[in-house]
Structure 1
Amino acid sequence: MRELKILAVVVSLTLLTYYLVEPFAHSKMHPHVDAPNYNFPQADKVTDAENVEKAKVALEEAEKAGKEKAIKSAKTDLANAEKFEKDTNAFWASAKAAIADKGNVANGEVLVTSNCTACHSIESKGFPPVMDNASAAAAYGVVPPDLGTAGKLYTKDYLVGFIMNPARASKVTHKFVDGRVHPMPGFDWMQPQELADIVAYLESIAPKTMTDKEVFHNACQRCHSIKYGDMQKGTMQAFTPDANIKTYMGKVPPDLSQYIKSRGAKYIHEFVNDPQKHLEGTAMPRVGLTQASEKQVVGYLEKVGDSKKAQREELGPKFLIYLVIFAIFAWLWKSKQWREMH
């Protein structure tokens, strides 16, 4: 009977830790954020409104405390949040027509080849990189992406927004202040139909299918490395040299080999969809991936950082069954020994 009581206490404490203590600790270390939203104009509208409300609450609390310095700071934060909301809403409103328009592929090809290939490659269409990665990184701060897969990787609204104003669409306007400008110029001077035409062309030349590795290669590898990834072909080094990306981003972006284990799939989905939700002020841009592309990125990180996941999950139930059987035999053996002693 004593052993059963001990077992009950152990089970109770384990369940208490697993279902109450651990989730509580996790919620404090990783506060809840909104689920990924791939409608970026709508996502920004919701996020910016929430930030304004937070700033209002902070101001109310500062006024209750009666501290002039805190009140002044809170008023400044509220004004900044309201201005950011207004500017972002105006930006997406100006992009609405281009997002809704049906583009002309032929005209889009002319626009892309006359405006974009001066910096971007489209190797699938015979436009190789203008310069090697090191030279491109030195010139722009980061290696410009090949546009051959952009139409598949990114949502239409994000592509339109990014072409118009890269910093605003990728949510890194805080990086480009005091005279600093984004390496890609904005094309908000274009007509909505022209923007729609460019996106239509990019979508027309994009491959129908891509492997998880190809998606990662095109969407992430300009900045991130995989040091312990594809062992058959060695490491995957970021296209942009560390010195350049450190200057551009403020620090070297992390190696993603084990991120699936240290962060988890849910966190990575949320972070890729909008880095500012988890790390306000981060230099990492919102990537603008479609839900399918984002899923492939996470899938590739699982293959790289947790390649034994399927085997581990398959072994789990078998191991638990073994423990139950072992516990039964241990209990029987213990009962037999005590009976003989008494």
Structure 2
Amino acid sequence: MKELKILAVVVVLTLITYWGVEPFAHSQMHPHVEEPEYSFKDVDGLNGLTGNAEAGAVLVQSNCTACHSIESQGFPKLMDDASSAAAYGVVPPDLGTAGKLYNADFLAAFIKDPATATKTSHKFVDGKIHPMPGYSWMQPQEIADMVAYLQSIAPEEMTNKEVFTNACQRCHSIKYGDMQNGTMTAFTPVENIKSYMGKIPPDLSQYIRSRGASYLHEFINDPQKHLEGTAMPRVGLTQDAEEQVVAYMKEVGDSKADERAALGPKFLIYLVIFAIFAWLWKVKQWRDMH
């Protein structure tokens, strides 16, 4: 009877901790934020316009290739990464995959006003300006044409690693990759990205473990929700592209997650069997003593 009372006390304290203390602590450390929003309704996007890719090709090639490469269309980098970073603060992305990775409305908003679209206006004050100039002076149809062109040249399929490389590696490194994926160094040199961002962006090798997939989706979709004032820009990834980024981080940082999850039920069965034998042994010993 005494043992049952002790067990009851342990169970009650465990439930109080699990259902009371832990949720409260979690709510303080990880306040609830709105779910990721992938339609980007809050940006000044295409506003229903349909672009013309042929017209957009002329506009992109005449306005963007002075800074951006489009390797797939025969527009190589004009400078190496170190020189580009020194000039702009961060390495400009190749635009060949932009039409697949980024939401169309976000792309249009970014072309019009990069700082506003990325929610980083707080960084560019006191004379500081975003390295990419805004094109709000263009006609809305012209911006829609540019987006249509970027979508027309984008690849139909990309691997998880390719998506991560194009979307994240300009700023973030993966120093502790596995044998299959290897390590990845940020394209922008440390001294430049530190000056541009205010600090060195974190290595993402183990972020899938330290933050979890749900947090990563919320943070990537809109960093300001979790960390107001952060220098991390809202990047505007589509839901599919964002899922591929998180999937790649899982491949690198937690490749054994599925195996570990599959082991859980087997281990619980083992504990149950062990508990039964332990209880039978205990009954036998007490029977002999009395």
Q: TM-score, normalised by structure 1?
A: 0.83
Written as runs of structure 1 = structure 2, the 5 A alignment for 1:237-316 is 237-316=185-264
Q: In the alignment, residue 217 of structure 2 is paired with which amino acid?
A: H
Q: Any conservation in 1 of the 2:84–2:92 contact (CA below 8 Å)?
A: yes
Candidates 260, 278, 282, aligned match of 1:330: 278
Structure 1 stretches of 4+ moved >6 Å: none
Aligned mates of 1:298, 1:233 — CA distance in 2:
15
Q: Does the CA contact (< 8 Å) of 2:93 and 2:166 recur in 1?
A: yes
What is the letter of the counterpart of residue 100 of structure 2?
A: K
Query: Partners in 1 of 2:28 and 2:178 — Cα distance?
Result: 35
Contact 1:155 1:289 in 2 (8 A): yes
Quick one: which of 135, 142, 145 aligns to 2:83? 135
Deviation at 1:233, TM superposition (A): 5.2
Q: How does 1:199-238 map to 2 (within 5 A)?
A: 199-232=147-180, 234-238=182-186
Deviation at 1:101, TM superposition (A): 1.1
Corresponding residue number in structure 2 for 1:59: none
Equivalent residue pairs, number:
290
Cα distance in structure 2, aligned partners of 1:206 and 1:278: 31
Deviation per residue, 1:167-203 (Å, 9 max, x gap): 0000000000010000000011111111011000100
Q: Which amino acid aligns with 2:29?
A: M
Contact 2:51 2:144 (C-alpha < 8 Å) held by counterparts: yes
Offset from partner CA, 1:130-156 (integer Å, 9 cap, x none): 111000000000000010110011001
Give the Cα–Cα distance (whole angstroms) in 1 for the partners of residues 104 and 156 of structure 2: 16
Asked if residue 148 in structure 1 is aligned to residue 148 in structure 2, the reply is no
Q: Name which structure has the greater RCO, CA cutoff 8 Å, separation 6+.
A: 2
1:47 match = none
Residue 165 of structure 2 corresponds to residue 165 of structure 1: no
Structure 1: distance between partners of 2:167 and 2:178:
17
2:14 counterpart residue number: 14
Partner residue, 1:317: 265
2:144 corresponds, among 176, 189, 196, to: 196
1:74 aligns with none
Q: Can you list the C-alpha shifts for 1:96-125, whole angstroms capped at 9, x where unaligned? A: xx3411111111111111111111111111
Give the Å deviation of 1:209: 1.2
What CA distance in whole angstroms lies between the structure 2 residues aligned with 1:233 and 1:325? 40
User: Which runs of no fewer than 5 residues in structure 2 stay unpaired?
Assistant: none
- Which is worse superposed, 198-207 or 298-307? 298-307
Query: Over aligned residue pairs, what C-alpha RMSD do you find?
Result: 1.2
**Displacement after TM superposition at 1:41 (Å):** 3.1
> Higher helix share goes to which structure?
1
Amino acid at match of 2:25: A
Deviation readout 1:246-292 (Å, 9 max, x if unpaired): 00000000001111111111111111111111111111100100111
Q: Secondary structure at the match of 2:41?
A: helix
Listed as ranges, the gaps of 5+ residues in structure 1 are 45-91
- Equivalent-residue separation in structure 2 for 1:20 and 1:295 (angstroms): 32
**Alignment partners' CA distance in 1, 2:141 and 2:191:** 40
Cα displacement string for residues 19-57 of structure 1 (whole angstroms, at most 9, x for unaligned residues): 221111010111111111112233x6xxxxxxxxxxxxx
Structure 1: how far apart are the matches of 2:33 and 2:158? 30
SS of the aligned residue for 1:41 comes to coil
Does structure 1 residue 105 correspond to structure 2 residue 23? no
Task: Work out the CA distance in 2 between the residues paired with 1:11 and 1:229.
Answer: 41
d(CA) in 2 for partners of 1:166 and 1:132? 23
Question: Does 292-301 or 223-232 show the bigger shift?
Answer: 223-232
CA-CA distance at 1:18 after TM superposition: 1.9
The secondary structure found in structure 2 opposite 1:229 is: coil
User: Alignment partner for residue 120 of structure 1, among 68, 75, 85?
Assistant: 68
Query: 2:181 touches 2:252 (CA, 8 Å); kept in 1?
Result: no
Inter-partner Cα distance in structure 1 for 2:178 and 2:150: 29
TM-score, structure 2 as length reference: 0.97
Does the alignment pair 1:182 with 2:127? no
Preserved CA contact (<8 Å) 1:99 1:156: no
Contact 2:177–2:183, Cα closer than 8 Å, also in 1: yes
Kindly state the Cα deviation for residue 212 of structure 1 after the two structures are TM-superposed: 1.1
